[in-house]
Structure 1
Amino acid sequence: MPIPRRTARRTAATAAVLAVVLPLSACGGASGAGGEADASGKVEGSITFQTWNLRAGFKPYFTGLIADFEKEYPGTEVKWVDQPAEGYADKLSADAAGGTLPDVVNVSPDLLAPLAKAGLALDLDQAAAKYEKEYLPGAWAGHRVPGLEGTYAFPWYLNTGPLFYNKRLFREAGLDPEKPPTTYGELFDQSLRIAEKSKGEIATLANIPTIEDFGRYGVPLMNDEGTAFTFNDAKGVELLSKYKELYDAKALDPQALTATPESAGKKFLTEAVAMNPGSALDLEKFRKQAPTLYDNIGITEQISNTGKDNMYVMGVMVNARTKQTPAAVAFAHFVTDAQRQMEFAKQVAIFPSTAGSLDDPYFTEEDGTDATRVRIAAARSLKTAVNYTPVLLSEQMKTELRNAVARALQGKESPKEALDNAVKACDRLLKQS
């Protein structure tokens, strides 16, 4: 899948894997061979490693990595296959159904979940627990699946994004431009202040709340068993009620209901909204197209009541039914160890998931460039970040939540009614899958 943003739309992707893979669980059970495979033997033999649309941009990196592994472990052979982004989930489901799933597989948490439920993903808490301490806690936990015991993939690279804010708009509202909001309470108060002082001309936000916002607000999103969603609890209703207040006061942009990342970015570029998430590429755009904004740009961490930002995490899964468990585990760890992740992070705008790596000068020392400014801000937040998006939340479920939020903001339903209906719809979809 394309780098750096591994947040591509997988509308039917997870469903495709679920439909074909879950019936296989009868063959192995939820923990299946994953809980019993022995990774302690000699590292030898031939294994297959599958990545997700990475060959075109990073062939030299991966061929070098594989050569280094084979040199370190004589008697091993790694066959690298790379699949295109389109149809990746379909390929996984076909391989799972046909018994041809590669030994080591690049997965995202949502694609991992059905494979783990089918007993096809090795439980690393049993087979490779000694490696857990090498990774950030939030990254390791990102590959757990509700309803199952265990962790089912090595964390690989991470991504996140800081918030940009317009210091001039904060200053003109009588707010301290060096103290942007860090909690949702501060965000709501300052947003209403900006709207009031600008007589409704300036909104602070251009996007409606997503599942990540509910998570960062402190809303429990799903029960521990993974059988029902819970984002309609009192805190969830409170969050949506606050957004309704912002919407009515024009502190949330009136076009937020139909906003895309591109349209929201344009609003921020033209200084019609005061805050927006972004990347180093956006910062360069501001410098060239909006020098006044660029001169007043502030960079801060994501808004959070939990003290933890949101991360996007990718993983490397070991096939629980591989015939070369020691070699497959050793290679999956090799790909994701601190040395290899740092090398990869210096080639592309991603972040390592290994403990201590984000303290490297590459992620902490300014050099005067925009890319470094954003990289340092994002790296700082990732040390304690977590993946708030439930691994069982499909794109169709996200649409149900998005539509419910829109109905509440428009006053067609109360926040409680809207979230209750969204949870019912998502639970129904969950049972269907």
Structure 2
Amino acid sequence: MRRWVISLFLILSVLLSSCADSIESQVQDTSPVSPVLVRPQNEKYLREDEWVRMLTLAIAFGDQRTVIWNTIPPNQRLEITQAEFIQYVNFLADCLPGTITSFARATETESGVIRSHANKTDTKMSPKPEQASIWWIRARTSDLRELKFAVPVTLDDAGVPYFSKSWLRSQTSLYDYTVLYLDALSSGSKDALTALIGHNLTIRSKLQKAAIGRRADELLIFYRDHVSTGRGSYRCVEMIPGYAVIEEQTIALEPGSGRTRSVVFTETEGVIRAEEKIPEQLTRLDGVFTFNGETLFDLHEKNVTIDSEEAIALLGIPLNLELLEDEGDFRVIWPGLVVEAEGECDIDALSFRGSVHQLSVSYSNYRTKTGLKPGDSVYELYYRYPFVRENGYLLSFSDNGTAKTLAIQVESDYIARMTIILNP
């Protein structure tokens, strides 16, 4: 009996000691994320799905990022430092506010579109965009908005995920630029905004510098009147080296009427551009075309016409007069001027009269009432219309139900041709 009691005592002592060790370890390891959760199943390296899961944990548990960093197999993080990892995860967390809900591989179509953005901006990227898989991480905000963000996973030649130094640095530096850019707009700092617009640009003329200043002025006005600014009013919805999309909240004119707009940031050879799609309208004076100071066409007239008697008196004998395929349409050509119209045309009599559909000028003696003309520097155009590039070099207005557009062709930083298109 005594021997049995002693044996029971020894067994209980061992059990209590074991429980005490277990409780102590739980108290010491208060981490909500166990390193086991990001340990490679194959005990060699994290697979793609494990890699994305590791990122979601790092996003969700900000105070455990050092722990998570230490669980990543060293060969998969050789190119970057812990500080760069934490900076990258901080950026991802900014892009996905709320609670992470799921992650999944993007479709081939989605992946192709996202990879193409990187291909357009940096053709010498290493690894190539084709060596990256694209994954969606989804989150839900406190107000039940569903968000998603595309994360590129760079792969080595064996298909093993790893952190590419060039990819991470490109993404974080571009994101830092967007934050500074939007902060400058939020604070109304023209000096900061001008410096950011001109960052890494070679300023070749006073006109180019003036165009940058004009763009900054117009951006500050637009954001003041139309865009909610400040942290929390925007979110990065896509980021890949050389390409980022920022979603902004517009100012609601009425409760519940707020919408979003997107700004695309691209980086090429160190120069970052913000694609601000802000409408540009052709000014009244730039809708009047002159030849050697004489008014030739006024787009604000109800019906823009051409008449052989007046045109030949002003411009001289045309180089060519021809009928077009559509009945009643004709084309008349002078040096530096081509006009297409619909009406009456007698080639033998060199007589024509009709309503103009389109006219195109390529010589500098044809210009608008303000003096804008072929041969001008593109910065003259940017000074007058700061967002014309984002509008596809198209300046339009509507007059009595007729859309009237000035299309500008730019070559080697100069205006090569200006074309008026009239669409009834």
**TM-score, normalization by structure 1:** 0.22
Higher helix share: 1
**TM-score, normalization by structure 2:** 0.22
Higher strand share: 2
Structure number with greater Rg is 2
Specify which structure has the bigger relative contact order, considering alpha-carbon pairs within 8 angstroms and separated by 6 or more residues. Answer: 1
